[in-house]
Structure 1
Amino acid sequence: MKLSKNRWMALVIAAIVAADWATKALVQQRFPSRGDQVTLIDGLLTFQHSINHGISWGMFNDSAPNPWRLPLLILLTLIGIGATISIVRQSRDRWIHVAGALVLGGALGNLGDRVLNGGVTDFIHVHFFPYIFNVADIFISIGGVLLVARMLLDARRGDGSAPTHA
């Protein structure tokens, strides 16, 4: 049975959201207090419970409490989701669809966490990287890089032969 593009994308998005929420629930259960941690690989990898009330990579996380922050971040996430859907819908390129599914799955995972918990649960700390992140962030980053790379490659061609846009 061959899946349509939309069904395939829906399955990928659902799998990413499920993996993200399952790992966050596990962290919240095993490490109930923020700051709790366990070292997995000494000097390299730690799981550390953290709540990010800001945006990617903890920006604006430490700013003073603001009643507009949560609604604004939810709105910005919805705008990003809408923009990604628009790009994917206009494209016939499979790599754009893959990238879009990765970004959408991660964005929806983090959005759900933000709506339910008021912030995003982060827990993966790779010691040579200055930020703590989560499974959704990994998919957003990979999908975003893939999306930009594919769009740049198509723009470089510039001959109209690229099957990126309908």
Structure 2
Amino acid sequence: MIKLSRSRWLALVIAAIIAIDWITKAIVQQRLPLYDRRPLIEGLLSFMHTMNPGISWGFFKNLPEAVRLPLIALLTLVGIGVAVWMMWDTRDRWQQIAGALGNLGDRLVNGGVTDFIYVHFFPYIFNFADISITIGGVILAARMLLDRPAADASTPTHA
């Protein structure tokens, strides 16, 4: 059995997440016309091909392109900066980064992000990269909360 270093495992995870995201988006783009819907579980889950020119949850999609694109670029840079600052000491940042890279690639190639997973009781349509970003955010938040150093017993916790 080949033993991989932590860095190589993380590189494989990133590559796998990006590959799954791009492959699923390509399949949807080729086989499902824009705004068509194919039920998977009637009344609960469908594939519905949409194109989101905005950011997560469709924010900014109605802004003029001359405003939207620079705003998204600025927010992306700020988000990367904040994420790097927050994730400096955590071990699970790669899932979020992989998801963000998947959506960035789609945005650069197609001018928007291909969304297609439609859970009927959820108000937004999303994709594999969005799932990865969300899971990475939850893992990051849990790590930040759970990996805090134990408080010194001699330090008071309140006044």
User: Residue by residue, what CA displacement relative to the aligned partner does 1:42-97 show, whole Å, maximum 9, x if unpaired?
Assistant: 00001000011111111122x14221322432343344345434544x32xxxx32
Deviation at 1:8, TM superposition (A): 1.6
Are 1:101 and 2:104 an aligned pair?
Answer: no
Within 1, Cα distance between the matches of 2:110 and 2:151? 45
Identify the residue that residue 112 of structure 1 maps to in structure 2. Answer: 105
Aligned 8 A contact 1:110 1:136 in 2: yes
Q: CA deviation at 1:11?
A: 1.1
The answer for unaligned runs of 5 or more in structure 1 is: 160-166
Q: Structure 1 residue 124: deviation in Å?
A: 0.2
Q: Shift of the alpha carbon at 1:139?
A: 0.5
Give the alignment's Cα RMSD to 1 decimal. Answer: 1.9
- Secondary structure of the residue aligned to 1:67 is helix
* Among 109, 120, 124, the residue aligned to 1:127: 120
Task: Report deviation, 1:25.
Answer: 0.3
Cα distance between partner residues in 1 of 2:81 and 2:3: 27
Contact 1:74–1:115 (CA<8 Å) still a contact in 2?
no
Match of 1:140 in 2: 133
Structure 1 stretches of 4+ with a deviation exceeding 6 A read none
Q: Tell me, in whole angstroms, the C-alpha distance in 1 between the residues paired with 2:132 and 2:86.
A: 17
Match of 1:162 in 2: none
Equivalent position of 1:35 in the other structure: 35
Q: CA 1:2 to 1:71, structure 2 compared with 1: closer, same or farther past 3 Å? A: farther
Task: Mark the structure with the bigger radius of gyration.
Answer: 2
TM-score (ref. length: structure 2): 0.84
TM-score, with length taken from structure 1: 0.81
